Amino acid sequence: MGTNSYAMASMASMASMASMASMASMASSGGSQKSLTTEAVPAAASGSLIGARDGIVGHYEPPAVVPDHLPFNSMDHMAFMETGVRISAIQSELFSEIKFDIGEEEFSVSDRATNGVIASIKRPDIGEFQKQLDYIAAYADLRLDRAPEIYAQVGEIMSVIGQTISLHPQRHKWTIEYLFVAVGAVIEIEKRFKAVMNVRRPFELSSQMQPMITTPAHSAFPSGHATEAFAMSEVLAAIVDHMDGAQQLTGRVSRRGQMQMQAARVGVNRTVAGVHYPIDTFAGASLGTALGQYMVRRSRPAGAEADMRGLRFESPWDPAVGGDTPDFGLADFNTQAEGPDGGQAGAYVRPQTAFAVPNSPSMAWLWNKVAEEWAIPAAPEAPAGAGV
C-alpha cells in the first residue's frame, strides 16, 4: 500500500494525522527525525562523511564474530523498524486477510479465513436519492452556522474525533500510529466501495443543491467522511473503554458516546454542505463501525480472538410504494446496528451472523503499545499513619 500512488493519494486526506505521526516520530527520536520519510543524514553531509571514513577506517579487517540472523517472522524487531515501513508492513498483512465480493447491486468485504461478512452494502434505488434532495435543501439553512466546522473537516477529521480524549502526538504516538494503520486501511476499503456503488452526487440530480464546497470527484455513496469518522470513534472508544468503566460513564456522557456523537456530526455536516445525502451517512456509519470493530478484534492477542457480527446496509424503501425515506439519526442507527441477528423489519442496518475474527500478530503487537499509553496509573498509597 505504501508504495503506490493511489494509496498515497488516499492517505493525503489524512494530512493532520501524518503531521501528528511525524511529530510523534520526532519525539521518540530526540527531535532528529523531521518526518516519516526524511533521511537521518542530510545529503549535504555525505561528502564530509566520505572524507571522515577515509581518515579513520583504515585497512578492512573481517570481524571475529558475526551475529546470526534475527528471529524469523518475529514481532521482537517491530519497534526498531522505521515508522512508515512498519505501517505498510502491518497494513499489507491486513489486506492479505480480507476479500471482496460483488453481487447484484451489492458489494461486501469479508474475512478471508472464516468467510465472515464484515460489511455489506446494497445500492438503493435512484428514486430514494431523489427524495433525499428534500433533506439537503432543508439542511442548507445551517450552512452559515456550520461553515467553520465544514471547512475544517474537508481535509481531516482525526483532530475532531480525537479531541474528546485529548489525543496528543507525544503522549500518544503509538495510538496515532495505530490510527494510521487501521483508518488508513479503512480508507482504502471505503474507496473500493465508492468505486463499485458509483452514485451520483446531489448537484447532478438538481442544480438547486449548489454545494458550499467543492464536490469530490467520486461516488457520494457511502459517505467517506462518515465511514472514517465512525471507524475512528469505534477504534478509539475500544482503546479508552476501560476509562469509562473506571468512572462509570455510560451513554452520551461517556468518551465512547461523545466520540460517536462527534462522528455523527461530521457525517451530517457533509449533508449540510450539499455534497451528501443523509442515506450516505447511514451507509458510511454502517461500514465504518463494522470495519472499526474488525480492526480492534484483529488486534487481540493470540488465543483471545473475539466474535463480531458484521453489518449489512440495505434500504427497505420501495420505489413502487414510495413513502418516507429517513434522515440520518444516531439513535436510529445505534438501535438498528445493535439489534439481533437479521435486524428489524424496515431497518436500513442489519447485524449479520457472528463469526470469530482471527488474530493479527503485528496488530496485536501494536495494540499492546497503545494500551500502555492509556493505562490508568495506580493511586499512590497513603503514608503509614496517615489519617490516624
- Contact (Cβ atoms closer than 8 angstroms) between residue 252 and residue 231: no
* Residuewise pLDDT in 10s, the chain (388 residues): 333 433 444 444 444 444 444 434 433 433 333 344 556 677 767 788 888 888 999 999 999 999 999 899 888 889 999 999 999 999 999 999 999 999 999 999 999 999 999 999 999 999 999 999 999 999 999 999 999 999 999 988 999 999 999 999 999 999 999 999 999 999 999 999 999 999 999 999 999 999 999 999 999 999 999 999 999 999 999 999 999 999 999 999 999 999 999 999 999 999 999 999 999 999 999 999 999 999 999 999 887 778 999 999 999 999 999 998 999 999 999 999 999 988 888 899 999 999 999 999 999 999 999 999 999 887 777 676 655 4
The pLDDT score that the predictor gives to residue 385 is: 63
Cα-flanking dihedrals φ and ψ of residue 119, to 5°? -155, 145
Instruction: Tell me what pLDDT residue 39 has.
Output: 64
The Cα 270–Cα 325 span in angstroms is 18
Identify the residue whose cell numbers are 479503512: 186
Query: What pLDDT, on a 0 to 100 scale, did the predictor assign at position 47?
Result: 82
Distance CA 70, CA 72 (A): 6
Amino acid 214: pLDDT? 97
Nearest to 175 by CA among 377, 367, 375: 367
Report the DSSP pairing between strands 106-111 and 117-122: antiparallel
What is the signed CA dihedral for 214, 194, 360, 37, rounded to 10 degrees? -40
In DSSP notation, 159-208 reads: HHHHGGGT--TTTTHHHHHHHHHHHHHHHHHHHHHHHHH-PPPHHHH-TT
Quote the pLDDT of residue 264: 98
How high is the pLDDT of residue 45?
Answer: 77
Per-residue model confidence (pLDDT) at position 48: 87
According to DSSP, the β-strands at 117-122 and 307-313 are parallel
Beta bridge partners of 354: 309
pLDDT at 206: 98
Going by C-alpha positions, the residue among 221, 242, 360, 352 that lies closest to residue 300 is 360
Edge-to-edge order in the sheet of strand 117-122: 98-103, 106-111, 117-122, 307-313, 349-356
Q: Looking at the chain, how many residues does it have?
A: 388
Beta strands per DSSP E along the chain: 98-103, 106-111, 117-122, 307-313, 349-356
Bin 58: left if φ > 0, else alpha if -120 < ψ < 50, else beta.
Answer: left
Residue 26 is predicted with a pLDDT of 36
Q: What is the pTM of this model?
A: 0.87
